Structure 1
């Protein structure tokens, strides 16, 4: 799909505030609300916009510990990987998972209520998993830059 400058401006605006109405977008883009709405709908239907969600404050929700956990697999089989990934999808405290190159096979982003919760996740869930050989966690001390919009 080819994006023109108006599409890029629309996407930048929605990344900053997904609640913008067609009226709001029309004003930002110097288009009629119906034109802006049709452009947004086209970007949604193409899959370029894949979802809308609210950004929540984890600390106010009682999730005081954020950590990144590197996981190295014991054996690199399709069954081990599928089982491990399925387990991560069932866990609410694991909010994102990436596969990596390098020493670790997976990087997990987790939120826990406290250090005891993080310890329980590592000691009772991750380390006992038959696919896991090694776990290394880094606790986030301060979020310097929040998840930023994609560069367009």
Structure 2
């Protein structure tokens, strides 16, 4: 049975909004931003981390600025949903750094991948030499990002 999400009060939500905007805020600056003293604020952040509400801290890197301007979303269908095939596919995916995110999906395709590459040739090499050779892959369909209108952002914690 799924664990129910923790109850978040107004202050918890203020903390989450502030940290999503700037994960490098010091404890003192965060406390001031949400109207708490540093110790109770730190306790709340720790509680949010322990509950899995805050799953990690990371820098947001622009793929194009590090030589990976091509982005694609790739739908993948597997030939079998047998546990060993799915597990082997998951392991193969986890080993590929160009796959930024992977989602199990409902509908015609089984997975949706977010992939980055230096150029079309690099993407083709990934698709032909890696993705299509992964265990159980039956079909793929690629859509290339032309313009990121609203890149991934903050989770609304109104």
TM bucket by the smaller chain?
over 0.9
Match of 2:104 in 1: 99
Q: Under a length normalisation based on structure 1, what TM-score does the superposition of the two structures give?
A: 0.95
**Deviation digits for residues 2-52 of structure 1 (CA, Å, limit 9, x no counterpart):** 211000111111111111111111211111122211211121122211100
1:57: how far off? Answer: 1.4
* Residue from 112, 118, 134 that aligns with 1:113: 118
* Residue from 52, 63, 72 that aligns with 1:67: 72
**Deviation digits for residues 39-91 of structure 1 (CA, Å, limit 9, x no counterpart):** 11121122211100011111110001110100011122111111111000001
Distance in 2 (alpha carbons) for counterparts of 1:38 and 1:47: 14
RMSD value, Cα: 1.0
Match of 2:137 in 1: 132
1:129: how far off? Answer: 2.9
Match of 2:52 in 1: 47
Distance in 1 (alpha carbons) for counterparts of 2:7 and 2:132: 46
Unaligned runs of 5+ in 1: none
Q: Are 2:29 and 1:10 aligned?
A: no
Q: Under a length normalisation based on structure 2, what TM-score does the superposition of the two structures give?
A: 0.92
Conservation of the 8 A alpha-carbon contact between 2:92 and 2:134: no
Distance in 1 (alpha carbons) for counterparts of 2:93 and 2:135: 14
1:150: how far off? Answer: 0.9
Match of 1:35 in 2: 40
Conservation of the 8 A alpha-carbon contact between 2:88 and 2:135: no
